[in-house]
Amino acid sequence: MPDYPPGAAHPASSATSPAGSYQRGGDVLSLSGMLAILRRHRTAWLATTLILPLLGIVALHRLTPIYTATGMLIYEPNEYKAQVLQSVLREGPTTEATMASQAELLQSLHIAQKVAERGRLDANPEFNPTVRPPSALRRWLARVLPFEEPESHGPHLDTGRNGMLLAVQAALHARPVRFSRVLEVTFTAQDPVVAAAAVNNAMDVYIKDQYAAKARAVHRATEQLQQRAEALRRETQRHEDGIAAYRARSGLFQGMHAGFDAEQVSHLTEELVRARTELANADARLDAARGRAGAGAQAAIAPSVVQLRAQQEQLAAQAQIRQGRLGASHPEAEGLRRQTETAQRNLAAEIGRVVASIDAERRVARERVATLETNLRTAQQEADRTSRVQIPLNAMQRDADAARAQLQAVLLQIQDTAQKATIETAEAHEISQALPPQRPSWPPTGPMTAGACAAGVFAGLLVVYVLHLTDASINGTEDIRSITGLPCFALLPEVGKRALGHGRIEDYVVKRPLTAFAEQIRSLRAGIWLGAHRPRAIAITAARPGEGKTLLTLSLGRSAQLAGEKVLLIECDLRRPKFARIFGADNDLGLAEVLRGTAVLADAIRTDPLSGLAYIAAGKPGGDMLSLFLSDTMTRLLHAAREEYDLILLDTPPIQAMSEVRVAAALADAVLLCVRWRRTPRAVVRHALDLLREIHANTIGAVLTRVDARAHVRSGGADAEVYHRRYRNYYKG
């Protein structure tokens, strides 16, 4: 059995391509091989190549030529726009959206109706199906199956006219010329004269409708302004009448305002402040005169009091001195004492006179303060009343002024509109009218004939190519060897529901060890064991999902475990794990946790209760899956497993699906490729092998899976002999 070391090129892919050959999806075909394929399918190629051009030519001759007439318009909005009409006649500057809107107006149903009326297109059979002569089949059906239309009660739906209008609208087109204000109008018809007339009618109707719409807008705006002016006149008169009536009720005369009362209140306030100051001064002098103030204040009462007090104090001092020198009974001492008493009586009399004078002044000041306070309260009340009356009057005056200003503005707008609206013109003008076209616009006979011939040639080649691709399935071990250069170790048959009964396909190799399926698994194990190098760690992958790699991994592991080997299964497909479901365990602890360092290897290894083999589930996936496989932990894990187990099987994802499968294949001793019988394309298998070769994986062979035994026997292949009924007695179950 051939063995290919890692990185070696396979025989089928390393052959030198001869001159004149080409490579297609991995197949190297010589020019003679391609000609052979073409000769083998020459009938289909010639039929397709000739039929398509003939059909195209016949169809071209049976087609009715169609003519397209073209006219040009330019859309130029007027420079002058009355201010009041800006919102009515134009919304903004000319933009691409504006031009697109004008094009939609030109091809609207309203324009189509006007074009149909002017050109009498309702009598044209091209646009009105009701005037077309009935076909021979329709006349025959009318004779065989006479049909009477039911009598209609109520509104009548004119389907013929509606269909005619829709047909005219479908033939009428308008588009804005890019980066300009030009509109191109086209109409398609079987008659070139009808087409040209329809374009000219459409442009004329569009221009006239524009002008009429502007005139209606001006008239409508003028009426609205006049109604607004009349309403403002009534509102202004109502405000003026209300002001006059309010003045009459409130007793206000023209020109009266609250300034006079405010000035009077201010004057009275100042007088009151001065009067209160004088009263305070009088109170202070009175307190000083009565002796309730200090000595300095008493001295400031009156000069006479000061003089008398000085004399009294001088006499009292002399009497004290005399009395101390001469004695109290001395005549001089007694005389000075009598003079002192006389001076004291004179001082008391003078003080009484001064107090009476100051008290009189204080009473006068108090009365003046009271009078001013009364006058100030009266003035403030009058000012408040005047202000309360003036506030509503001011509000009414503002409303009247605003109404008069609005009325004046509306009258100016009416005058401006009446003077200048007459200069408004249509915003679109004809650049060129449509002329009857000389050549039909459709069908293009020359290009379509050439295209039909080219399409016939390419369609014939396509048919040959499709027929060739339909034979590109992998039908047996010979196809595997010729395509991949690898040995095919086994052909695993498809196990039907009848053969399974109530069991599971995963348990089939254990519960039915004498079946053809179990024998092919043992044949696979023997092929691997008998190789030049006996790999211990084998990565099992596939080119596509659904090719049975997980079933193959589980069946091979259980078969080897039952044969006495110590087997470890490692689920490397972290994105679509299946071991937890198959073995009835959870997926919380597995390979991902061991590689992340959150669990130890011993805790992740579990035992299959059916066969006793050890397995490691996938664990929880994450965004770090590729880095986990690239880590040193994965290498150490496989190294430890090689020392303890006889066979390690890595259940990896499809080789083209995930990046981590390439890392696992590179770390394993060998790679086994699963290929689904009559399903996996050859190019996909070659590409899968190219990917394995790029990572220098040691691909030792392939396995054909899910083989329909009966169909394979009918194919007559040499490897189908094992499924022949003559071998039925060798298999049980």
Per residue in 113-131, pLDDT (tens digit) is 999 999 998 888 888 888 8
Are residues 510 and 448 located together in one domain of the fold?
A: no
Residue 665: which pLDDT band, with cuts at 50, 70 and 90?
Answer: very high
pLDDT, residue 149, reads 53
Looking at the chain, the whole-number percentage of residues with pLDDT higher than 90 is 33
Are residues 502 and 620 located together in one domain of the fold?
A: yes
Cα 294 to Cα 121, 288, 290, 297, 300, distances in angstroms: 125, 7, 11, 5, 10
- 472: enclosing H helix or E strand: none
Q: Are 659 and 688 in contact (CB under 8 A)?
A: no
pLDDT at 380 over 80: no
316 occurs within a structural domain: no
165 occurs within a structural domain: yes
pLDDT, residue 198, reads 93
Averaged confidence pLDDT in the chain:
81
Q: Is 104 helix (H, G, I), strand (E, B) or coil?
A: helix
pLDDT, residue 243, reads 83
What mean pLDDT is predicted for residues 257-271? 69
pLDDT, residue 20, reads 37
pLDDT, residue 294, reads 45
214 occurs within a structural domain: yes
What mean pLDDT is predicted for residues 465-485? 80
290 occurs within a structural domain: no
Give the separation between CA 726 and CA 732, rounded to whole angstroms: 13
pLDDT, residue 253, reads 59
pLDDT, residue 292, reads 55
Q: Are 169 and 200 in contact (CB under 8 A)?
A: no
Are residues 675 and 616 located together in one domain of the fold?
A: yes
Closest of 254, 264, 267 to residue 384, by C-alpha: 264
Residue 33: which pLDDT band, with cuts at 50, 70 and 90?
Answer: low
Q: Read off the tokens for 48.
A: 């397709």
pLDDT, residue 716, reads 61
Are residues 450 and 554 located together in one domain of the fold?
A: no
Are residues 456 and 598 located together in one domain of the fold?
A: no
pLDDT at 351 over 60: yes
Are residues 458 and 530 located together in one domain of the fold?
A: no
| DSSP secondary structure string for all residues of 22-81 | EEETTEEE-HHHHHHHHHHTHHHHHHHHHHHHHHHHHHHHHSPPBEEEEEEEEE---S--
**What's the CATH number where 186 sits?**
3.30.1890
Say how many domains are in the chain: 3
Are residues 447 and 519 located together in one domain of the fold?
A: no
pLDDT, residue 465, reads 81
pLDDT, residue 638, reads 95
Pairing of strands 488-493, 614-616: unpaired
Q: Read off the tokens for 355.
A: 């107090």
Residue 312: which pLDDT band, with cuts at 50, 70 and 90?
Answer: confident
pLDDT at 1 over 70: no
Give the separation between CA 533 and CA 3, rounded to whole angstroms: 8
Are residues 547 and 610 located together in one domain of the fold?
A: yes
Q: Is 705 helix (H, G, I), strand (E, B) or coil?
A: strand
CB atoms within 10 A of CB 166: 13
pLDDT, residue 622, reads 85
Cα 396 to Cα 237, 246, 390, 393, distances in angstroms: 12, 9, 10, 5
- Residue given tokens 């049909």 in the structure block: 147
pLDDT, residue 579, reads 94
Chain Cα centroid distance, residue 87: 33
Looking at the chain, the whole-number percentage of residues with pLDDT higher than 70 is 83
Are residues 528 and 616 located together in one domain of the fold?
A: yes
**What's the CATH number where 518 sits?**
3.40.50.300
Cα 186 to Cα 71, 104, 304, 376, 611, distances in angstroms: 6, 13, 127, 92, 82
Are residues 557 and 612 located together in one domain of the fold?
A: yes
pLDDT, residue 25, reads 39
6 occurs within a structural domain: no
Give the separation between CA 724 and CA 714, rounded to whole angstroms: 9
Residue 714: which pLDDT band, with cuts at 50, 70 and 90?
Answer: low
pLDDT, residue 29, reads 55
Half-sphere exposure of 459 (CA within 13 A, CB side): 15
Give the separation between CA 546 and CA 553, rounded to whole angstroms: 13
What mean pLDDT is predicted for residues 332-347? 78
pLDDT at 715 over 90: no
Residue 408: which pLDDT band, with cuts at 50, 70 and 90?
Answer: confident
What mean pLDDT is predicted for residues 421-438? 81
Stronger pLDDT, 348 or 542, i.e. the higher one: 542
Residue 560: which pLDDT band, with cuts at 50, 70 and 90?
Answer: very high
517 occurs within a structural domain: yes
Single-letter code of the amino acid located at 211: Y
Q: Is 172 helix (H, G, I), strand (E, B) or coil?
A: strand
CB atoms within 10 A of CB 692: 24
| DSSP secondary structure string for all residues of 407-464 | HHHHHHHHHHHHHHGGG---SEEEEE-----SS-SB--HHHHHHHHHHHHHHHHHHHH
H and E: helices and strands count for the chain: 27, 14
| Range 182-217 burial, b when 16+ CB lie within 10 A, else e | ebbbbbbbeebebbbbbbbbbbbbbbebbeeebeeb
pLDDT, residue 15, reads 35
pLDDT, residue 261, reads 60
Q: Please state which of the ranges 317-321, 429-433, 565-569 shows the lowest mean pLDDT.
A: 317-321
Q: Is 321 helix (H, G, I), strand (E, B) or coil?
A: helix
Residue 3: which pLDDT band, with cuts at 50, 70 and 90?
Answer: very low
411 occurs within a structural domain: no
What mean pLDDT is predicted for residues 36-45? 70
504-553 pLDDT per residue, tens: 999 999 999 989 899 999 999 999 988 778 899 999 999 999 999 999 99
Chain Cα centroid distance, residue 53: 49
202-215 pLDDT per residue, tens: 999 998 888 888 77
pLDDT, residue 526, reads 92
Give the separation between CA 696 and CA 496, rounded to whole angstroms: 38
Pairing of strands 67-75, 182-189: antiparallel
Which range of residues forms the domain containing residue 132? 67-143+158-220+425-432
pLDDT at 687 over 90: yes
pLDDT at 224 over 80: yes
What mean pLDDT is predicted for residues 227-234? 88
Q: Read off the tokens for 706.
A: 């899910």
Are residues 56 and 107 located together in one domain of the fold?
A: no
Whether the predicted model's global pTM rises above the 0.75 cut? no
Are residues 524 and 625 located together in one domain of the fold?
A: yes
| DSSP secondary structure string for all residues of 267-289 | HHHHHHHHHHHHHHHHHHHHHHH
pLDDT, residue 302, reads 64
| Range 289-319 burial, b when 16+ CB lie within 10 A, else e | beeebeeeebeebbeebeebbebbeebbeeb
22 occurs within a structural domain: no
pLDDT at 453 over 70: yes
